[in-house]
A and B are shown apart, each in its own frame.
Chain A
Amino acid sequence: MLHTLAVLVENNPGVLIRVAGLFTRRGYNIDSLTVCQTEDPELSRMTIVVNGDDQIIEQVRNQLSKLVVVHSVSDYTGECVVDRELALIRVQVSSETRSAVLQTVDIFRGRVVDMGRTNLTVELTGDIPKIDAFVHAIQPYGLMELVRTGKVAILRSEA
């Protein structure tokens, strides 16, 4: 099953390759990986979505923890979290389809952020199933380009 790991790492050059290299070398599959600086400029947060059974996930967590540049590893799977992904989607439109496409964008609460003569670009934020659903809905009109950030997640506050 898919697990979402929140990994706090040092914000240094070379850290990403240490983490990514570990996954390649040990044969673990990364579904998505996002990384950026946190509120502490010395630390970055990686949100890694990884597929595997419990034994694999335990290995992944232990292997990550072993890296000197990794400060902590938390598995958010089954936890109460807010998770989001951002997608930018370019869709083909014609005078016949434009209004249907815009309606779909509206239903998914997306925003049109760019428009050409034959296409428009949609910005969409949401959890992964929502973005998948939008992509599915828009496909018949002509999906030209899809850029997704991968999931970011944060624990819900307790109170």
Chain B
Amino acid sequence: MSEEEKTGLIGAHILLNALQQEGVDVIFGYPGGVLLPLYDALLDSPVRHVLARHEQGVVFAADGYSRVTGKVGVCLGTSGPGATNLVTGIANAFLDSIPMVVLTGQVPTSSIGSDSFQEVDIIGITMPITKHSYLVKDARDLPRIVREAFYIARTGRPGPVLIDLPKDVLAAENVIPFSNEMKLKGYKVFGQANNGKIEEVVKVLSESRKPVLYAGGGVVTAGAEDVLRQFIDKTSIPLVTTLMGTGSLPFEHPNSLGMVGMHGTVTANYAVDDCDLLIAVGVRFDDRVTSGIGHRFATKAKVIHIDIDPVEIRKVVKTDIQIVGDARQVITEMLEVLPAFPVPQVTEWWNQLHDWKANHTLEYDKDRLTPQMVIQCLGEVAGGETIVTTDVGQHQMWAAQYYPAVNPRNYATSCGLGVMGYGLPSAIGAQIARPNEKVVVITGDGSFQMSIQELGTIAQNQLPIKIVLLNNGVLGMVRQMQKMFYAERYSQISLQGSPDFVKVAEAYGIHGIHVNSLEQVRGAFEEAFSHPGPVLVEIAISENENVLPMVPPGKLITEMIVR
């Protein structure tokens, strides 16, 4: 090699440069042996690295970062256990269509396949839960691979893309990279040429008397909230949302009927069951909505399905009109066509909906400390614009029912996979992404203990996250189901042995507040939000609280348990 060819750049430099080209400002990661060349190069790179306390925290932080920005989140773990610890978070991002680039270390190419120390076939393990993956064999390919990975992650239906990085590729010396020109002949982004169908949908809508709009994560991904709102205001159509669609229409908007499905509102579920036209946008008729009985879902309705992923069309529910496309683009086109058709006559339908709304409001006892009251009070103190992340369980559903979210980019929760332990690290990602905004985690004592070590990350980075911990001493959602469907035979739901959470927080240098009466709740939240640093507010609630309404598994969405 001649003098001119000694670039002084190792593979890790090429990787970091390529990441910068993609606009990456932060990587959530955890180091390890095979990543040493990369961690050495990071010392001289402007790309920020945030160290979590477990690789699962790393990937959830990248997920939270992505949900609150719409950008591609980036996480990094070492080979073997580092990579396998990322798996749950990759699955989570895959099921909720979150754009993410996952970097994993790998043993040197010459050792691959020999069961060497900290070696796993992470490409093989993650094949069903990644949109695509790469094993880098030549450092010169890194610019192209990184560019392709980001492009695939964020376009079409987004998802996680994994890049496996053998140590020798990261350490390769004097790399003269190949062009970063993408070679993606096989990759297709769908969503053009729906001419004719748009008019058909608007015509069907204009003739409908009981229409319902059913919106989910696809609306959020497309950034279609504003056009969705215009469409709703112009047509007076009521809206039901999935958990993924939380906030796509402000909570208080009169056309919002709330969440649909298993723990949805009575009105939303009745409306979907009784409507004559269901316009589904960016949803996949998940079994938490349809009870897994797609053929008995919205049976009186003509069903229109708008989704960017052709695979979702006719997967669960037989539909009458299908449009493959980006939600924002399709709704915008519908708005353009709208004036050519009469406004749908929905006055009677709204009378019916108001009737249901009036008779089936979400209710709880006002004279004692209840989780519903806690969430409602939190919403009043924090405001709808605060970034909320939640964990998984009863508190997640109470948050969905009572938190007055107004912006879907300010709401992050694990939907498809339902991962306990998601809330705290995703709040870390959200706070790093938007350092000047209020971030609050709503969690439970079960979920919290699955990521409790991330308090260290919060303390190290002095992130002013407010943690609202609803402590009932049990795995509440499991308990609720054992209570309702297993004759109150409680099995393995007690979390006796949990620590004093306020003391745990204090051990990390985080301010802790304990609440055990109705009167203390508001004051505790006010104190938390006036405190400049992180705060944990632990609230003792009864283990007897249930999330209602509830559609029992396998039942129609009209067969709700209401009280």
A contact residues vs B (CB 8 Å cutoff): 9-10, 14, 17-18, 21, 25, 55, 58-59, 62-63, 65-71
Nearest CB of A to B258, in Å? 32
B contact residues vs A (CB 8 Å cutoff): 123-124, 127-128, 131-132, 135, 152, 184-188, 309-311, 313-315
* Cα A65 to Cα B314 with chains together (Å): 16
CB nearest neighbor in B for A71: B186
Is A18 in contact with B311, judged by CB distance below 8 angstroms?
A: no
Is A9 in contact with B315, judged by CB distance below 8 angstroms?
A: no
Nearest CB of A to B148, in Å? 8
Is A62 in contact with B184, judged by CB distance below 8 angstroms?
A: no
* Cα A21 to Cα B131 with chains together (Å): 13
For B187, list chain A residues within 8 Å (CB). Answer: 68
* Cα A70 to Cα B132 with chains together (Å): 12
CB nearest neighbor in B for A14: B123
Q: What are 8 residue pairs bridging A and B, where the CB atoms are less than 8 Å apart in the complex?
A: A17-B124, A58-B314, A59-B315, A62-B310, A66-B188, A66-B309, A66-B311, A70-B186
Is B132 in contact with A63, judged by CB distance below 8 angstroms?
A: no
Query: Given A65-B188, A67-B186, are A21 and B128 also a contact pair (CB < 8 Å)?
Result: yes
For A21, list chain B residues within 8 Å (CB). Answer: 127-128
* Cα A55 to Cα B123 with chains together (Å): 30
Is B309 in contact with A68, judged by CB distance below 8 angstroms?
A: no
For B315, list chain A residues within 8 Å (CB). Answer: 59
Is B132 in contact with A68, judged by CB distance below 8 angstroms?
A: yes
Is A55 in contact with B128, judged by CB distance below 8 angstroms?
A: no
For A14, list chain B residues within 8 Å (CB). Answer: 123, 135
Nearest CB of B to A38, in Å? 14
Is B124 in contact with A69, judged by CB distance below 8 angstroms?
A: no
Is B186 in contact with A62, judged by CB distance below 8 angstroms?
A: no
* Cα A147 to Cα B14 with chains together (Å): 49
Report which of B123, B128, B188, B311 forms a contact with A59, defined as CB distance below 8 A: B311
Given A58-B314, A66-B309, A66-B311, 9 extra CB contacts under 8 A = A10-B186, A14-B123, A17-B127, A21-B128, A59-B311, A62-B310, A68-B132, A68-B152, A68-B184
Query: Given A67-B186, A68-B132, A68-B187, are A62 and B311 also a contact pair (CB < 8 Å)?
Result: yes
* Cα A58 to Cα B313 with chains together (Å): 10
Max chain B C-beta neighbours (<10 A), residue from A9, A25, A68: A68
Is B186 in contact with A9, judged by CB distance below 8 angstroms?
A: yes
* Cα A10 to Cα B186 with chains together (Å): 8
CB nearest neighbor in A for B310: A62
Is A69 in contact with B186, judged by CB distance below 8 angstroms?
A: yes
For B186, list chain A residues within 8 Å (CB). Answer: 9-10, 67-71
Is A18 in contact with B314, judged by CB distance below 8 angstroms?
A: no
Nearest CB of A to B92, in Å? 18
* Cα A25 to Cα B128 with chains together (Å): 8
For B184, list chain A residues within 8 Å (CB). Answer: 68
* Cα A22 to Cα B422 with chains together (Å): 28
Is B127 in contact with A18, judged by CB distance below 8 angstroms?
A: yes
Nearest CB of B to A131, in Å? 33
Nearest CB of B to A117, in Å? 43
CB nearest neighbor in B for A54: B314
For A68, list chain B residues within 8 Å (CB). Answer: 131-132, 152, 184, 186-187
Nearest CB of B to A56, in Å? 10
Nearest CB of A to B314, in Å? 6
For B124, list chain A residues within 8 Å (CB). Answer: 17
Sort A-B residue pairs by CB-CB distance and give the 6 closest, nearest first.
A71-B186, A68-B132, A62-B311, A62-B310, A68-B187, A25-B128
Nearest CB of A to B315, in Å? 7
Nearest CB of B to A27, in Å? 13
* Cα A10 to Cα B148 with chains together (Å): 15
For B185, list chain A residues within 8 Å (CB). Answer: 71
CB nearest neighbor in B for A22: B128
Nearest CB of A to B149, in Å? 10
Nearest CB of B to A53, in Å? 12
Is A55 in contact with B132, judged by CB distance below 8 angstroms?
A: no
For A62, list chain B residues within 8 Å (CB). Answer: 310-311, 313
* Cα A21 to Cα B123 with chains together (Å): 12
For B314, list chain A residues within 8 Å (CB). Answer: 55, 58-59
* Cα A69 to Cα B148 with chains together (Å): 13
For A55, list chain B residues within 8 Å (CB). Answer: 314
For A67, list chain B residues within 8 Å (CB). Answer: 186
* Cα A9 to Cα B309 with chains together (Å): 20
For A71, list chain B residues within 8 Å (CB). Answer: 185-186
Max chain B C-beta neighbours (<10 A), residue from A14, A17, A21, A66: A66
For B135, list chain A residues within 8 Å (CB). Answer: 14
* Cα A68 to Cα B314 with chains together (Å): 22
* Cα A65 to Cα B186 with chains together (Å): 8
CB nearest neighbor in A for B127: A21
CB nearest neighbor in A for B161: A68
Nearest CB of A to B549, in Å? 32
* Cα A66 to Cα B307 with chains together (Å): 14
For B132, list chain A residues within 8 Å (CB). Answer: 68
For A10, list chain B residues within 8 Å (CB). Answer: 186
Nearest CB of A to B322, in Å? 11
* Cα A80 to Cα B123 with chains together (Å): 39
Nearest CB of A to B136, in Å? 13
For A25, list chain B residues within 8 Å (CB). Answer: 128
Max chain A C-beta neighbours (<10 A), residue from B186, B309, B313: B186
Nearest CB of A to B155, in Å? 11
For B188, list chain A residues within 8 Å (CB). Answer: 65-66
* Cα A17 to Cα B133 with chains together (Å): 13
* Cα A18 to Cα B135 with chains together (Å): 14
* Cα A69 to Cα B184 with chains together (Å): 8
* Cα A42 to Cα B272 with chains together (Å): 49
* Cα A91 to Cα B310 with chains together (Å): 49
For A69, list chain B residues within 8 Å (CB). Answer: 186
For B127, list chain A residues within 8 Å (CB). Answer: 17-18, 21
Nearest CB of A to B530, in Å? 49
For B152, list chain A residues within 8 Å (CB). Answer: 68
CB nearest neighbor in B for A9: B186
* Cα A56 to Cα B313 with chains together (Å): 12
* Cα A25 to Cα B91 with chains together (Å): 14
For B128, list chain A residues within 8 Å (CB). Answer: 21, 25
* Cα A45 to Cα B502 with chains together (Å): 62
